[in-house]
Amino acid sequence: MVIEWAPFRLTPGVSETDLLEASEALQTDFLQPQAGFLRRELVHLSGEQWGDLVYWESEAAAKRAMETAASNPACFRYFHLMEDADHNEPGQGVQVLAVRKSYAGG
């Protein structure tokens, strides 16, 4: 399993409601149909700082999705809410973390 960590800052004037609506569209229209997609968490760090944690079965699954993200309307809308995002390179600023061991609470 791999996790994509994508921190971002909202563009000034974008509300949390705008973000959550675009996030829902990204989830249903792009991520859920992707082969190898496991789950996603949108996290609020502070102020305008946010982050996405996207869990994939493999690095290959994450890479396949990233290759098609720039041409997807839901991704386009979501990425345009991010300050300083390169809309043609959705993988910019994304870190791919390889999970070596996972622990659960009991």
Q: Note the pLDDT of residue 49.
A: 94
Considering the domain boundaries, does residue 54 fall inside one? yes
Residue 6, domain CATH: 3.30.70.1090
CB 32 within 8 A of CB 88: no
The token duo for 87 is 């809309």
Question: Within 10 Å of residue 102's Cβ, how many Cβ atoms?
Answer: 6
Q: Note the pLDDT of residue 59.
A: 94
- State how far the Cα of 10 lies from the Cα of 79, in Å rounded to an integer: 10
Name residues of the chain where pLDDT drops below 50.
none
- State how far the Cα of 94 lies from the Cα of 106, in Å rounded to an integer: 31
Considering the domain boundaries, does residue 105 fall inside one? no
Q: State which residues form the domain around 62.
A: 2-98
Q: Note the pLDDT of residue 89.
A: 64
Please write the tens of the pLDDT for every residue from 14-24: 999 999 999 99
Considering the domain boundaries, does residue 103 fall inside one? no
Q: Note the pLDDT of residue 10.
A: 94
Q: Residue 41, class by beta-carbon neighbours within 10 Å (0-12 exposed, 13-18 middle, 19+ buried)?
A: exposed
